[in-house]
Amino acid sequence: MNQEQDWNKLATETKVVAAGRPEKKPDGALNPPIALNSTFHEGGPIGYARYGNETWSALEDAISVLEGGQTLIFSSGMAAISSAFSLLPESAVIIASHNGYQGTTTMLKKMHEAKRLEVRFVDLANTDAVLAVLPGAQMLYLESPTNPAIEVVDLPKVIAAGKAAGCWVAVDNTLATPMIQNPLALGADITLHSVTKYLSGHSDLLLGSVSTNDKALYGRLEQARRYGGAIAGPFEAWLALRGLRTFALRMQRSQENAMELANRLAKDPRVSKVRYPGLTTDPYHERAKSFMKGFLRQIGEYLFLVKRDPNQERTGMMKAMHGMNRISLIVFLIGILVILIRKFL
């Protein structure tokens, strides 16, 4: 990547297209190669394929530009999350969402049961509840918006409180993405992604990433990857970098579709409740608007609705989960409809 580029002067939409490119030179390639190597000649910075890869580096450079920190990629989002938890000593106290991503919650429950960590599950959207359990904690693990409940955490206030309490603060930024928020700029120590999802965007790979501005933390995370073996495949890294080039366009369209869908569902008499921070009626609308960028048109796949059915005993969460596949189909169909309307009107 061209290290002389001042990325702070560029919009995110430009960064996703320009970052992670080889250095400019006459007849130089515009895209990095797929480096299918397990061994390298001695004397260089890589040494062995478990330690680094030219294709990894390009993707890491690109995500670093977006997140504003130094990035490591991993074999999956859960591998990235595991590396963050590996920073904690035996029986350390970690605070996490009681209603977050199922994979993370399940792993933390198992670690708690095994006494590897002491986990304090809390409603992260309830700031007072988070502050109440902070004393003695060594890591505050945030997810905002939560997946799939799209609850919005007051990141500026909660991150500041965590740092004041002496915690490492990690933020899963998968659902918001750097298009919407930058946790490192808000004071977090670590930001994580399931690159599998919005960053790559094509449902054809598994990858994760961890970004930090702390050199010591970066070193420990790199060692966790190096000796834990949760490394990315070069081809997956290349696919993710290719997908990243359309990230801004994909996010723009998905946000437009989501807002349209939310508004239509909110007016539908068959639907009793729509949970979406872009709606002015949503309980997290004002909070999200205070520090998030563009969330008002955010990701349609994670919009929640509750079907009106007085005879059904399931909770609102269960009803919402039941409708998510149909919502994804509706989002797609609305996208096609918008294209046709714009073409013929």
Active-site annotation, residues:
50, 101, 172, 197
| Residue where the block lists tokens 């081809």 | 235
What DSSP string describes 85-100? HTTSPTTEEEEEETTS
Task: Using alpha carbons, select from 326, 87, 276, 73 the residue that is nearest to residue 175.
Answer: 276
User: Does the bond joining 135 to the residue before it have cis omega, within 30 degrees of 0?
Assistant: no
Structural Rg of the chain based on CA atoms = 21
Cβ atoms of residues 98 and 123 within 8 Å:
yes
Can you say whether the dihedral through the CA atoms of 310, 313, 317, 321 is positive or negative?
A: negative
Alpha helix (H) residue ranges in the chain: 12-18, 54-67, 77-85, 102-113, 127-133, 155-164, 215-228, 234-244, 247-267, 285-291, 316-344
